């Protein structure tokens, strides 16, 4: 039976989790094609950011995910995690001149890192099911209470306004349920695609489309109303029904959807955050030995620059 590590081991675990988080976020922005989203190829539907903006943001966040993991391992409550997250958001906005690049990831991936820290402090392996259980055991009740309070109060963020207006699940609602889009949709799609042999890039596109097909992505609603969300969901469902990345012309089809999304100014940012979380899970959990090795190989081949100006 594994023995719980002492607190002297937690910083090493936290460092590993943080590096995996930053790499997963870099993998997400580097991925292409992604309908409407920023990539190394173009700005997508965004006029105020490009890939270099995301890299500056990652540089500013490089220590946050480790701090979240340490806090989780030390039993910090939701209020303490929120304090860390707000400080991380401030550093992100300072680095990007006020552009919101990773607010969703600060929240979602930060919670997952905290759950991983909690598991590590208990001497448990980072299997996906155990991570989800640790998240719910540690902060599920507090997240549900916070979600209820937010629903009762006047909405503040664009996502809250969109969720309230159309009866959708917000990011906070997703967290209170243990991130079903991550654990039940994106991660299984990523695993299945990787194991089918399509390659890492195609597997991530497949996982993204699987997520877009079902997620209440409030980023889409903010930009295009409920019609924009339903349009993107329908396009993703059609792509998957045609075979997804297994179809011969998947790249031209996905790029055509990207152009159509840009014309509509739509960007599924929530789905991108879910994809990054799934890539992080695939990289850190030991139950996916082959899958994790594949993801780790690719992320190591695309390291995050040591300085934001080092990226073009």
pLDDT at 163: 67
pLDDT at 106: 96
Average pLDDT over every residue of 125-138: 96
Q: How confident is the model at residue 307 (pLDDT cuts 50, 70, 90)?
A: very low
Q: How confident is the model at residue 165 (pLDDT cuts 50, 70, 90)?
A: confident
Closest to 127 (Cα-Cα) out of 137, 115, 136: 115
Q: How confident is the model at residue 184 (pLDDT cuts 50, 70, 90)?
A: very high
Report how far residue 58's alpha carbon sits from residue 91's, in angstroms, rounded to the nearest whole number: 10
Average pLDDT over every residue of 116-145: 96
Which letter does DSSP use for residue 115 in this model?
H
Specify the pTM: 0.87
Please give the angle made by the CA atoms of 297, 302 and 305, to the nearest 5 degrees.
Answer: 140
pLDDT at 5: 45
Average pLDDT over every residue of 7-27: 89
Report how far residue 60's alpha carbon sits from residue 93's, in angstroms, rounded to the nearest whole number: 9
Closest to 139 (Cα-Cα) out of 207, 211, 81, 201: 81
pLDDT at 169: 84
Closest to 179 (Cα-Cα) out of 246, 245, 232, 107: 107
Report how far residue 196's alpha carbon sits from residue 189's, in angstroms, rounded to the nearest whole number: 11
Domains in the chain: boundaries: 10-310
Q: How confident is the model at residue 168 (pLDDT cuts 50, 70, 90)?
A: confident
Mean confidence (pLDDT) of the chain: 88
pLDDT at 156: 61
Tens digit of pLDDT for each residue in 64-114?
Answer: 999 999 999 999 999 999 999 999 999 999 999 999 999 999 999 999 999
133 Cβ contact partners less than 8 Å away, ≥ 6 residues apart: 178
Report how far residue 156's alpha carbon sits from residue 94's, in angstroms, rounded to the nearest whole number: 21
The answer on pLDDT for 161 being more than 80 is: no
Closest to 170 (Cα-Cα) out of 203, 197, 141, 148: 148
The answer on pLDDT for 306 being more than 50 is: no
Report how far residue 309's alpha carbon sits from residue 312's, in angstroms, rounded to the nearest whole number: 7
């Amino acid at each position: 039976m594994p023995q719980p590590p002492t607190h002297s081991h937690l910083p090493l675990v936290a460092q590993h989790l943080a590096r995996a988080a930053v790499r997963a976020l870099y993998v997400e922005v580097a991925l292409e094609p992604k309908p409407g989203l920023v990539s190394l190829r173009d700005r997508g539907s965004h006029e105020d950011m490009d890939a270099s903006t995301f890299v500056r943001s990652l540089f500013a966040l490089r220590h946050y995910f480790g701090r979240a993991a340490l806090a989780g391992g030390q039993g910090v409550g939701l209020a303490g995690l929120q304090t860390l997250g707000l400080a991380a958001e401030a550093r992100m906005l300072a680095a990007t001149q006020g552009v919101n690049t990773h607010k969703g990831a600060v929240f979602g991936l930060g919670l997952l890192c905290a759950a991983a820290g909690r598991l590590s402090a208990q001497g448990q392996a980072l299997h996906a099911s155990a991570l989800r259980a640790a998240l719910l055991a540690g902060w599920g009740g507090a997240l549900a209470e916070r979600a209820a309070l937010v629903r009762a109060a006047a909405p503040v963020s664009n996502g809250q306004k969109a969720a309230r207006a159309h009866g959708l699940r917000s990011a906070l609602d997703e967290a209170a349920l243990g991130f079903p889009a991550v654990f039940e949709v994106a991660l299984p799609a990523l695993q299945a695609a990787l194991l089918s042999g399509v390659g890492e890039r195609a597997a991530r596109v497949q996982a993204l489309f699987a997520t877009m097909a079902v997620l209440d992505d409030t980023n889409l609603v903010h930009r295009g109303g409920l019609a924009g969300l339903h349009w993107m969901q329908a396009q993703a469902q059609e792509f998957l029904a045609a075979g997804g990345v297994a179809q011969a012309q998947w790249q031209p089809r996905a790029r055509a959807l990207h152009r159509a999304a840009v014309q509509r100014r739509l960007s599924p940012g929530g789905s991108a955050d879910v994809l990054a979380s799934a890539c992080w899970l695939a990289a850190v959990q030991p139950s996916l030995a082959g899958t994790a090795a594949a993801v780790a190989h690719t992320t190591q081949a695309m390291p995050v620059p040591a300085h934001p100006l080092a990226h073009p």
